Structures are given as structure tokens and as C-alpha cells.
Amino acid sequence: MNNSEALLSELFSSLNISHEKIKESSANGGKSPDFKVFWGGELSYWEVKGLDDNDDEKEIIKNIRADANAQMYQVNSERVGKNINKATKQFKEYGVTNYPCIVVIFDNRDWSVMDFMLPNYIKTAIAGKAEYRYLKDGTYQESRRLYGKLSPEKKRFISAVALLSPSGKKITFYHNPYTNNSLIDSKLMKLFNSHYQAIPTEQGLTWTEVRPTEF
């Protein structure tokens, strides 16, 4: 297992969650998710995508390390969408799209180029971008939504995209509002404390933190 997979496995074990690392093989085009998880009578599949330093970021890190007075640099990478697409292919090739599928993003980059906008990129990749119109009473309302990597028509088997903390001790779930494999009310999700859901409001879809006790 690589670092991100090992951290997720350790998190599962700390919560006594039954899980199995799926062995890679030449079958299914060599594509498979990382973990099969069984909890509370429910089966789900998980794929971890680690964001590693690219060439540009490696150069930034080199320059920062050469300057003792340098400050942390925010790269604002937008690689979340590409990783969701890669994970989607793995779930499809492995033939598990009838089950809840979770994509886990782990920022494996040097601290100096870690991306503090990752939660926003994840939300946009899941729910898309909204366009708004302002009403005469001073309020606003969503007029159109430009879908991201997920939508009511595509990749509905993706239940959530989660962000694993650098320490591996915490994971935050951003639930797909368009999924047909929802996990949000499951016994498994109640083991985790950090959840966000895009909920329809008068203004349109609004990301809201949801507590497990509300499920």
C-alpha cells in the first residue's frame, strides 16, 4: 500500500471498520478500487487519490527551501476533477457501480504547496457552479447550474467525495446530491463526524454541514 492507502486503512481499523484491500490484477483492464468496506450489512467501495507534487510544485518547494525567510505558497491546484474521473473508470471497470462508491482525496504534497482551496474544488466538482439572478426584494436565486464532474445524468453511482487530513486522523465527506447510491443515512457514515451535503434552498443548492445526529 502507498502512504494514502495505508492512512485510510489505519483510520478504518481505528474505528473497527471491516475492510479489505483489493489486489490489483490484469483482469478488468487492471483497474480496480482500493478498498472493499463491509459495515452494518452494507457493502461499499473506496478509491484513494493522492495529490503528489508536480514539476512546477517541486520547483516552488526547491526555491522555498533555499530561502529561510520564504512563506508558505498556495498553489490552488485544480486536479480534483481529473482524479474523480480516474476513480470513476476504476469503479466501472471493476463492475461495482451498483454499490456506493467513495472517492477519497489526500493532499500528499509538501506543506509549502498544500492547497487550502481543496474543499471548494471538491464541492464544485460534485455539485457544479451556480449562476444567480438578483430579485427586486434584494435577495438572489439560482438561475442555472453548470455541472462539474458529477450531475443528475452522469456518475450517479459516486456516493461522496471525501477529503482525508494530512495526518490521516480525520476524514470529511462531501455527499453527492445526485447519487443513486446514497450512504448519508447509513450506519457506516454515523461513525464519522464531518459531513457536508448540498441541500436545496430558496436560493438554490447550498452546501451545509450536517451532524450525524441529524441523519
What is the structure's pLDDT at 215? Answer: 45
Strands in 40-136 per DSSP E: 42-51, 101-107, 129-134
Q: How many CB atoms lie within 10 A of CB 87?
A: 27
In the chain, % helix, strand, coil (3-state, to 5) comes to 30, 30, 40
Distance separating alpha carbons of residues 46 and 17, to the nearest angstrom: 13
pLDDT in tens, 132-147: 888 888 888 888 888 8
Residue whose C-alpha is closest to residue 160's, from 22, 10, 37, 7:
37
pLDDT in tens, 156-175: 999 999 999 888 889 999 99
pTM, 2 dp:
0.84
Strands in 98-182 per DSSP E: 101-107, 129-134, 140-146, 158-164, 171-175
Distance separating alpha carbons of residues 182 and 158, to the nearest angstrom: 8
Confidence of residue 214 (pLDDT cuts 50, 70, 90): very low
Q: What is the 8-class DSSP label of residue 81?
A: H
| 190: pLDDT strictly greater than 80 | yes
Q: Mean of the pLDDT values across residues 167-186?
A: 91
